[in-house]
Amino acid sequence: MKAIRIHEFGGPEVMKIEEVERPLAQPDEILVKMYASGVNPADYVVRQGGNEILKPFLKLPLGLGLDGAGEIAEIGSEVIGFKKGDKVYGIPNFLSGTYAEFIAAKANQFAIMPNNVSFNEAGAIPSCALMAWNGMDLGQVGAGQRVLIHGAAGGIGSLALQFAKAKGAYVIGAASKSNFEFLRQLGADEVIDYNDENFAGLLHHIDVVFDASPVFNEDARMMMAGALKEHGRFVSVQLPYPFSEAILEKLGNKHAEAKMIRRQLDVAPSLTDIAKLIEEGKVRIVISKVYPMEKAAEAHVELESKHVRGKIVLEIRKEDGKYEAD
Ligand SMILES: NC(=O)c1ccc[n+]([C@@H]2O[C@H](COP(=O)([O-])OP(=O)(O)OC[C@H]3O[C@@H](n4cnc5c(N)ncnc54)[C@H](OP(=O)(O)O)[C@@H]3O)[C@@H](O)[C@H]2O)c1
């Protein structure tokens, strides 16, 4: 089967499509015939050699890709709840590499994908959606609360905005001006420009800050912390950038909490709940561009611009035909 691998760390050019052995499903695993893989910031971070958290785990050669969607081709003898041919989406073990024609994964790392989306749309959902979903839990987002989503037009942000709306919150989306209309279409009640020099002055009485920006900025964090109400929650996706003492002090003074999102291991129950919301039409996935597997390097260049609207996806196979010799 074909898979994208790297034999050295570096720029997008280090990604190569190679012929590798098709994995076998172990007794507790499913073999997924992949149709689409999400393209996520972790993919270019791994490709570049990792950050302080990832570095110790990265041993070359490596496959790339965190999440995706496909059809179950084989089922391990101990797996229950799935059958061959089921359309699934999920997040296999970290570094399994979803930029591949087949993936073997523990059955609890996948769930039945929403029945009203394409494989390309489903493949874009799992990792971002779970970050946004867990963020809602950590932030205890509920009806009537004022929730600020920072980086609201991106992969995680565009889903967090919709999840918060689905929970009945009043949602303020922060993005570049060019994305204001997009955020309104997703349901934002208010939109603000994080580039505005008066950013701090635009923020008021926030119950929950959900920071989904791909750019770490201590000043922006400080301004958002300043806008939180007493007992508010500041939730961040930026695991490599712990909250500074100064931010913790500012939050502590108003009995507000700082929370860093981590993804849980048993992802299937959350992915099933998310599929339901999508099937009910309460949440939609926005794909700004689909790249064929051969153009993974271009997909990375685009994502590294840090201004993708919604998601970009790597198409491993066409829905209506075969991409390679099965
Ligand atoms: N994707 C995942 O599954 C995942 C998992 C764990 C952690 N993370 C981390 O979460 C972060 C976001 O991931 P993502 O997948 O949502 O990234 P993404 O889709 O690449 O984010 C793009 C968005 O970031 C916004 N943005 C760019 N610069 C910004 C700034 N200075 N301040 C605020 N927003 C800014 C852009 O908004 P405008 O174009 O409107 O300026 C754009 O809409 C990354 O740091 C990533 O490492 C991601």
Above 60 in pLDDT, residue 324? no
Domain assignment present for residue 45? The answer is yes
Per-residue tokens: 66: 């965190």
Spatial distance between the Cα atoms of 61 and 48, rounded to a whole number of angstroms: 13
Domain end marker among 245, 260, 275: 260
Average of per-residue pLDDT values in the chain: 96
Determine if ligand 1 sits within 6 Å of the CB of residue 308. yes
Please report where in the chains the tokens 């867990």 appear, as a residue: 134
User: What's the Cα-to-Cα distance from 260 to each of 44, 67, 134, 139, 210, rounded to whole Å?
Assistant: 21, 21, 10, 10, 10
Spatial distance between the Cα atoms of 34 and 19, rounded to a whole number of angstroms: 15
Say if residue 228 is in the same domain as residue 174: yes
Q: Which of 43, 52, 64, 128 to mutate to test the pocket of ligand 1 (most atoms within 8 A of CB)?
A: 128
Domain assignment present for residue 272? The answer is no
Domain assignment present for residue 202? The answer is yes
Per-residue tokens: 22: 């098709």
Say if residue 116 is in the same domain as residue 73: yes
| 321: confidence class by pLDDT, cuts 50, 70, 90 | low
Above 70 in pLDDT, residue 11? yes
Say if residue 42 is in the same domain as residue 67: yes
Per-residue confidence (pLDDT) for residue 32, from 0 to 100: 98
| 325: confidence class by pLDDT, cuts 50, 70, 90 | very low
pLDDT in tens, 105-160: 999 999 999 999 999 999 999 999 999 999 999 999 999 999 999 999 999 999 99
Spatial distance between the Cα atoms of 277 and 254, rounded to a whole number of angstroms: 34
Please report where in the chains the tokens 């499903």 appear, as a residue: 25
pLDDT in tens, 151-187: 999 999 999 999 999 999 999 999 999 999 999 999 9
Spatial distance between the Cα atoms of 251 and 259, rounded to a whole number of angstroms: 11
- Enter the pTM of the model: 0.96
Domain assignment present for residue 322? The answer is no
How remote is the CA of residue 212 from the centroid of ligand 1, in Å? 6
- What percentage of the chain reaches a pLDDT higher than 70? 98
Determine if ligand 1 sits within 6 Å of the CB of residue 192. no
Q: What angle do CA 149, 271, 312 make, to 5 degrees?
A: 60
Say if residue 85 is in the same domain as residue 139: no
How remote is the CA of residue 23 from the centroid of ligand 1, in Å? 32
Say if residue 70 is in the same domain as residue 148: no
pLDDT in tens, 17-71: 999 999 999 999 999 999 999 999 999 999 999 998 999 999 999 999 999 999 9
Mean pLDDT of all residues in 247-260 = 98
Say if residue 40 is in the same domain as residue 112: yes
Per-residue confidence (pLDDT) for residue 320, from 0 to 100: 73
Domain assignment present for residue 276? The answer is no
| 322: confidence class by pLDDT, cuts 50, 70, 90 | low
| 247: confidence class by pLDDT, cuts 50, 70, 90 | very high
* Total domains in the fold of the chain: 2
Per-residue confidence (pLDDT) for residue 88, from 0 to 100: 98
Say if residue 121 is in the same domain as residue 141: no
Domain assignment present for residue 275? The answer is no
Per-residue tokens: 92: 């296999």
In CATH, what number is assigned to the domain containing residue 165?
Answer: 3.40.50.720
Tell me which residue has its CA closest to atom 11 in ligand 1: 214
Domain assignment present for residue 253? The answer is yes
User: What's the Cα-to-Cα distance from 251 to each of 53, 85, 187, rounded to whole Å?
Assistant: 25, 50, 29
Domain assignment present for residue 278? The answer is no
Say if residue 47 is in the same domain as residue 119: yes
Cβ atoms within 10 Å of 187's Cβ, excluding its own: 16
Per-residue confidence (pLDDT) for residue 326, from 0 to 100: 43
How remote is the CA of residue 306 from the centroid of ligand 1, in Å? 6
Per-residue confidence (pLDDT) for residue 265, from 0 to 100: 76
Given the CA of residue 220, which atom of ligand 1 is nearest to it? 32
Given the CA of residue 66, which atom of ligand 1 is nearest to it? 3
Domain residues for the domain of 300 are 2-125+285-315
pLDDT in tens, 293-309: 999 999 999 999 999 99
Indicate the residue type of 283: V
